[in-house]
Structure 1
Amino acid sequence: MTANVTKFMKIVNGSNEHCCVPLCSASGRYNSSLSFHCFPKNVSLRAKWIHQVRRTGFTITQHTKVCSRHFKPHEIVTSKKGRRALVAGAVPSLFEWNNYSTKERPGVWERRARPPSPERVLEPAAAAEPIALPMVMDHDYEASPTVCVDRQHYEQLRQEIDTLREQLKICHLSKFGLQRFASSPEDIRFYTRFPSYKHLMAFWSLISTATSKMIRVTSRDKRATSTVTESPVTRPTKLLAIDELFLFLTYLSTGCTQRELAHRFNIHRTTVSRIIVTWANFLYTLLGSVCFWMSPAAVKDNLPPEFNAYSDTQVILDCTELRCQTPSSLVLQSEVFSHYKSHCTFKAMVGMSPHGALTFISPLFEGSMSDKEIFRQSGIQNLLTPDTAIMVDKGFLVDDLAPGTVYRPAFVIQRAQMAEADVLETQSIARLRVHVERLIRRVKENKLFETTIPLAISGSINQIFTVACLLSNFQNGPLVKTWANEV
């Protein structure tokens, strides 16, 4: 049955059935000579129908039918009662795009006449003889095992290949990643704050086994947990785990925006944000699980000679502030505004052992909070004992909160000047307490904390700052070079 012989005539009491095939307007209301057939229930046969119909994105129901125009005549049988049905395994094959015919279209080689093969013209004897190069055998078994190539053309192609290889090598070297700077300690120090590639690899060897169980932030409300070792094929991003660590360290060290990092690493900005949050949470959990608070005995074993007059000192405390974006809410502005910095800030308390190791980090608090209140809420009181002392600045009026001795510079109270003993004690304490400020300066060498912290990352800034403080123990040597041989 073809399109030319099928006539469409409006009939009385016609059915509402119609054909679902594209470019076919057959309907049971206008032609009673057509029959309409439902899609088969067999899964494989139904898939063949869908493939032949060439219509995707539609839902097949019991009313979705194909008319008899698209089946071959022998595929349609009529019962004694005049009911038309399809034979088993029938598949529609006659359509508008094949002109309602099953005859295969001849190929291009068959449709077009082939030009006569030109006869080979021999070169004069005076011309340069072509060189014979071995030809890679494929499927043309009638071809000669050698082929004649013009020497000059061959040399040009070879030079072009060499040029392309050099360009490809330059493209590989220009890829922004850890391996690009592996041979440059200055670049490693600039991008990661580690002194060399060897030190960075030593730190990576400590945490690499734990990355297989890293919890990745994939969206705001969805988290994916990986419990197997990841490969470059199965990873959520196209960066290796060590390159993701390099991206996170670069974000801390240089303070680059996420958009700039996305251009450098050739990934999407949202992917950069998720990598930063993922690694901040991962290192916060991993490094924070290690107890870096030292016992009084361990502190005394590593006590420098300069602290002999204050041998019971357990920790040296000081507060530091990070400038943050001003909130639009006036209530939040009043909470985070620091009169000392005249700006909205986050505030944290950092503790250092006498020999220079960072041993305590408090969470970030509002900039308006006093040093004494931060000391109260930080939880350091639970770590101190009555036989240990702390060394603080003048702003820490915590004598009633600390269980032990508090070494603090003296105040001038209703006196014209300090007593000679107070001056000497103040100088002695200030000379030792200044090392905690040097430790904080090491943390703030990460350019991220020199910028104004956007409120967009306020949910993870506490983890980021804590990780930066913990990494300072791995990235730097002793604060005083002479202490390296004494402790």
Structure 2
Amino acid sequence: MSVAASNKQKYNVRGSFRFQPTVFGSKEHCCVPLCSSSGRYNSRLSFHRFPKETSLRLCWLQKIRREGFTVTPHTKVCSRHFLENEVITTEKGRRILAAGSVPSLFEWNKYSRKTRAGVWERRCRPSNPEPDSADPIEDNEPPVMVPMVVDHDYGASRTVCVDREQYHSMLREIEQLKEQLRSCSLQKPFGLERFSTSPEDIRFYTRFPSYEHLKAFWNLIEAATAKMVRVTRAKKTDVMSTTTETPFTRPTKLLPIDELFLFLSYLSTGCTQRELGHRFNIHRATVSRIIVTWANFLYCLLGSICVWMSPAAVSSSLPQDFDGRYSDTQVILDCTELRCQTPSSLLLQSEVFSTYKSHCTFKAMVGMSPHGALTFVSALFEGSMSDKEVFRQSGITSLLTLDMAIMVDKGFLVDDLVPGTVHRPAFLSKRAQMSEVDVLKTQSIARLRVHVERLIRRVKENKLFDSTIPLSIAGSINQIFTVACLLSNYQNGPLVRKWRYEV
């Protein structure tokens, strides 16, 4: 057997038994990643220290991919990572490395130094046909210049392969995007005219049943908007003047009817002023001034109309359910509370805190005629005030006479304040059980008085009052609530469907 064959058999490390313990094993192991060679299990391997030359040592670290690795005298690389001609056996049988040897066989290159051929070598090119020497015409023609592709071959061909289905789908998508862009550019801005054909949207944003009802209300107040006193950024003066507005003197770019639509949307949706500014494309401060301006305007305009009805008018529209014992009822009263933001002052907290709601609230008293129309609304008071005190300070006492009766809940102990009759459910007091007469009286009053709760629910359908009132609008919340109550007479029909034909 030749020496080369003997060395090949001796150093065929990949075919050896790596995990078979040796008799005289050592503790040496290889530091190359993904290599588990150890002198304890394989005596055919030799382990070599890193060279002392700095440049060669850096080359070793780069080849074995161990940057930032600290080399010690015990750090070694096994002979598995060197070529066969780089490992030399001395006369004494010791295996050493040839000068300048660098490890090049690793797990990530499959222990081979073969490199992949370049793009130019891998490309299949047609063989150039030999020119025919018998044809004298072809010899005189100049050679055809063919552009040489150095790196990529897709630039040498002028033929482009396109998926026909994908191409048509992309064309359809482009047309759809163009149509969407065209519709967005032609879409009406956020305003009343945009929802004129949708009663559902009109009801959602304004609480009016339809666009025609809202326009009818606008026709009633349109003439008065010319003398509207606006809240502006200018300093307040003692002398206030009113001028007729024109499109050039109007402080905002919104039309007056769109400003009304903004105010009604603020009541109905309860969204923030910043959100309204984004919808109407105006500044948030402008939205705040529009809300305060229209709250004061409608408070004065609708408040100047007398909603209190005379006894004759109430009697002429009295439903049949009130005939008999309660035919003298002039108004049905009840209090409602609006949750407000908790103030930081402890004194204010004690004034507006309501033990009934366990929260800081504003309290108001609402009055309804027997046929369902709102005829009285008080100012807002502190939530800690009792129903009797709210009744006393509301000013309704001056409107009542001896022939007028009121219908209230149990909390209204106002017999000493009312000149006429008070229809109120009976108290249990210290009795163990109510009498039959008191039970029937309580049921009959509750059946009629429940409609004022429904009227209050109509007002609170405006999401602004159904949520917590921020203290930032506390200065105008009284006007806003009063306007919302007065608008309920214009926005809704009768409370009870059968009263529609009796009134």
Q: TM-score, normalised by structure 2?
A: 0.63
1:368 aligns with 2:384: yes
Name the residue aligned to 2:159.
none
The CA deviation at 1:413 is 1.3
- Contact 1:216 1:225 survives alignment (8 Å): no
Name the residue aligned to 1:263.
278
| Aligned pairs (5 A) from 1:62-73 | none
Name the residue aligned to 2:223.
209
Name the residue aligned to 1:465.
481
Name the residue aligned to 2:194.
180
1:254 aligns with 2:269: yes
- Contact 1:213 1:225 survives alignment (8 Å): no
Q: 1:426 to 1:209 in 2, by over 3 A?
A: same
| Aligned pairs (5 A) from 1:350-365 | 350-365=366-381
Alignment counterpart, residue 346 of structure 1, candidates 358, 362, 367: 362
1:477 aligns with 2:493: yes
Deviation per CA, 1:408-448, whole angstroms, max 9, x where unpaired? Answer: 00000111110000000000000000000000000000000
Counterpart amino acid of 1:265?
F
Counterpart amino acid of 2:435?
A
Q: What SS does the aligned partner of 2:222 have?
A: helix
Deviation per CA, 1:368-406, whole angstroms, max 9, x where unpaired? Answer: 000000000000000000111000000000000011000
In the alignment, the residues of structure 2 paired with residue 315 and residue 172 of structure 1 have an alpha-carbon distance, to the nearest angstrom, of: 52
The CA deviation at 1:458 is 0.4
In the alignment, the residues of structure 1 paired with residue 500 and residue 403 of structure 2 have an alpha-carbon distance, to the nearest angstrom, of: 27
Alignment counterpart, residue 192 of structure 1, candidates 181, 203, 206: 206
| Aligned pairs (5 A) from 1:291-306 | 291-306=306-321
1:307 aligns with 2:318: no
In the alignment, the residues of structure 2 paired with residue 451 and residue 225 of structure 1 have an alpha-carbon distance, to the nearest angstrom, of: 37
In the alignment, the residues of structure 2 paired with residue 184 and residue 267 of structure 1 have an alpha-carbon distance, to the nearest angstrom, of: 24
Deviation per CA, 1:137-165, whole angstroms, max 9, x where unpaired? Answer: xxxxxxxxxxxxxxxxxxxxxxx9xx989
Q: 1:285 to 1:478 in 2, by over 3 A?
A: same
In the alignment, the residues of structure 1 paired with residue 241 and residue 383 of structure 2 have an alpha-carbon distance, to the nearest angstrom, of: 36
Alignment counterpart, residue 377 of structure 1, candidates 373, 390, 393: 393
The CA deviation at 1:220 is 7.1
In the alignment, the residues of structure 2 paired with residue 227 and residue 389 of structure 1 have an alpha-carbon distance, to the nearest angstrom, of: 46
The CA deviation at 1:229 is 3.9
In the alignment, the residues of structure 2 paired with residue 285 and residue 240 of structure 1 have an alpha-carbon distance, to the nearest angstrom, of: 21
Alignment counterpart, residue 299 of structure 2, candidates 275, 284, 290: 284
* Bigger Rg, structure 1 or 2: 2
Aligned pairs, number: 327
- Contact 1:356 1:479 survives alignment (8 Å): yes
In the alignment, the residues of structure 1 paired with residue 320 and residue 246 of structure 2 have an alpha-carbon distance, to the nearest angstrom, of: 49
In the alignment, the residues of structure 2 paired with residue 173 and residue 251 of structure 1 have an alpha-carbon distance, to the nearest angstrom, of: 23
Alignment counterpart, residue 219 of structure 1, candidates 203, 228, 233: 233
Alignment counterpart, residue 237 of structure 1, candidates 248, 252, 266: 252
Counterpart amino acid of 2:284?
R
The CA deviation at 1:238 is 0.4
Structure 2 gap segments, 5+ residues each: 1-173
Structure 1 gap segments, 5+ residues each: 1-159
Q: 1:368 to 1:360 in 2, by over 3 A?
A: same
The CA deviation at 1:186 is 0.2
Q: What SS does the aligned partner of 1:486 have?
A: coil
Q: What SS does the aligned partner of 1:427 have?
A: helix
Name the residue aligned to 2:288.
273
Name the residue aligned to 2:433.
417
The CA deviation at 1:450 is 1.3
The CA deviation at 1:228 is 1.3
Counterpart amino acid of 2:397?
Q
In the alignment, the residues of structure 2 paired with residue 169 and residue 214 of structure 1 have an alpha-carbon distance, to the nearest angstrom, of: 37
Name the residue aligned to 1:106.
none
In the alignment, the residues of structure 2 paired with residue 482 and residue 256 of structure 1 have an alpha-carbon distance, to the nearest angstrom, of: 35
1:171 aligns with 2:185: yes
In the alignment, the residues of structure 2 paired with residue 347 and residue 287 of structure 1 have an alpha-carbon distance, to the nearest angstrom, of: 21
In the alignment, the residues of structure 2 paired with residue 220 and residue 434 of structure 1 have an alpha-carbon distance, to the nearest angstrom, of: 48
Deviation per CA, 1:12-38, whole angstroms, max 9, x where unpaired? Answer: xxxxxxxxxxxxxxxxxxxxxxxxxxx
In the alignment, the residues of structure 2 paired with residue 284 and residue 190 of structure 1 have an alpha-carbon distance, to the nearest angstrom, of: 22
The CA deviation at 1:215 is 0.3
In the alignment, the residues of structure 1 paired with residue 470 and residue 429 of structure 2 have an alpha-carbon distance, to the nearest angstrom, of: 41
Name the residue aligned to 1:320.
336
Name the residue aligned to 1:331.
347
- Contact 1:214 1:225 survives alignment (8 Å): no
In the alignment, the residues of structure 1 paired with residue 451 and residue 376 of structure 2 have an alpha-carbon distance, to the nearest angstrom, of: 15
The CA deviation at 1:175 is 1.5
The CA deviation at 1:455 is 0.8
Counterpart amino acid of 1:222?
K
Counterpart amino acid of 2:271?
C
Counterpart amino acid of 2:201?
D
Alignment counterpart, residue 447 of structure 1, candidates 438, 463, 469: 463
1:407 aligns with 2:423: yes
1:389 aligns with 2:405: yes
- Contact 1:371 1:395 survives alignment (8 Å): yes
- Contact 1:188 1:195 survives alignment (8 Å): yes
- Contact 1:213 1:228 survives alignment (8 Å): yes
